[in-house]
Amino acid sequence: MNYYIASLKHTDRDDEHIAFWGRFHRGYTPVIGTYTGLYCYGEAVELNAGHDYIAVPAPVVELLLSPEPYYRPGGRFYDQRGPVVTNTRTNWNALIAFSLTHGRTHKPKPKPFPGQCRAIYTE
């Protein structure tokens, strides 16, 4: 089974979408798809501290996806295209509930987005 690594460290209250580790341990992205890293169990356990990151099975993350947000021209701030996971308490609860517990040393404490999302979903 493959895992996505959700970043609690790089997802703040100001972020509408949850950030995930990129491919080959390079960068972070809110977009699930080409640039998101899928990690095997061994790598996922190493990264699953709970304080900064949690490892979540890929099928769970894929169930929480929202379509690619649409922004008015000039308002786009993501350089990649694709679906995202919104930064809500409900989504964080699902990610934490199904995340790996092996290797975790801290209880995850996410910071969900408190306001109204400015993105428009066209699908």
Q: Domain range for residue 83?
A: 3-121
> Comparing C-alpha atoms, which of 105, 87, 101 is closest to residue 17?
87
Is pTM beyond 0.75? Reply is yes
- Whether the predicted pLDDT of 111 surpasses 70: yes
Alpha helices in 1-123, H assignment, sequence order: 41-47, 58-63, 89-98
Provide the pLDDT for residue 45: 82
What would the mean pLDDT of 72-78 be, rounded to a whole number? Answer: 51
Q: Are 105 and 48 in contact (CB under 8 A)?
A: no
Q: Are 110 and 37 in contact (CB under 8 A)?
A: no
- Whether the predicted pLDDT of 95 surpasses 90: yes
- Whether the predicted pLDDT of 93 surpasses 80: yes
Cα separation, 71 vs 9, whole angstroms: 25
- Neighbouring-strand partners of residue 70: 120
Q: How does 31-63 read in b/e, with b if 16+ C-beta sit within 10 Å?
A: bbeebbbbbeeebbbebbbbeebbbbbeeebee
Quick: pLDDT tens for 34-60: 557 788 888 888 878 888 889 999 999
Provide the pLDDT for residue 70: 63
pLDDT above 90 covers what percent of the chain?
Answer: 20
Domains in the chain: how many in total? 1
Average pLDDT, the chain: 80
Question: Which band of pLDDT confidence, cut at 50, 70 and 90, is reported for residue 71?
Answer: low
